[in-house]
């Protein structure tokens, strides 16, 4: 399963109104660590399919959403549950660390 593209326009419907938890990857094309973590985010989208929605926000083309959540460095991954940020991961972290954080919010 591929992560969905989340934009300023669909953020509310895709993330804030989602009935399942959502992992949102804030990234940019020019960001090296973002490229390193991208395959991990895709693997997690497949592994947690049905339990977790995974989206990616390009910070360059969606500055409103990035500013709303105070994204200062990328990659930043936010976990949303019931429309609220419940966890945050900054930087390219190992897959098991991401999976552990996600698992805590799936119930």
Question: How is the chain split into domains, by residue range?
Answer: 4-104
CB atoms within 10 A of CB 98: 21
CATH code for the domain defined by 4-104: 3.40.30.10
The answer to whether 71 touches 11, Cβ cutoff 8 Å, is no
Catalytic residues: 31, 34
CA 11 to chain centre: 11
Q: Are 48 and 60 in contact, with CB atoms under 8 Å apart? A: no
pLDDT band for position 1 (50/70/90)?
confident
- Per-residue pLDDT tens digits for 31-85: 999 999 999 999 999 999 999 999 999 999 999 999 999 999 999 999 999 999 9
């Amino acid at each position: 399963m591929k992560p969905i593209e989340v934009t300023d326009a669909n953020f509310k419907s895709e993330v804030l109104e989602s009935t399942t938890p959502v992992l949102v990857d804030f990234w940019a094309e020019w960001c090296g660590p973002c490229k390193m973590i991208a395959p991990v985010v895709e693997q997690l989208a497949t592994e947690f399919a049905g339990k977790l929605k995974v989206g990616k926000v390009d910070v360059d083309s969606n500055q409103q959403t990035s500013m709303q959540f105070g994204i200062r460095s990328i990659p930043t991954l936010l976990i949303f549950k019931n429309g609220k940020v419940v966890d945050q991961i900054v930087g390219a972290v190992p897959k098991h660390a991401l999976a552990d954080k996600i698992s805590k919010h799936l119930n």
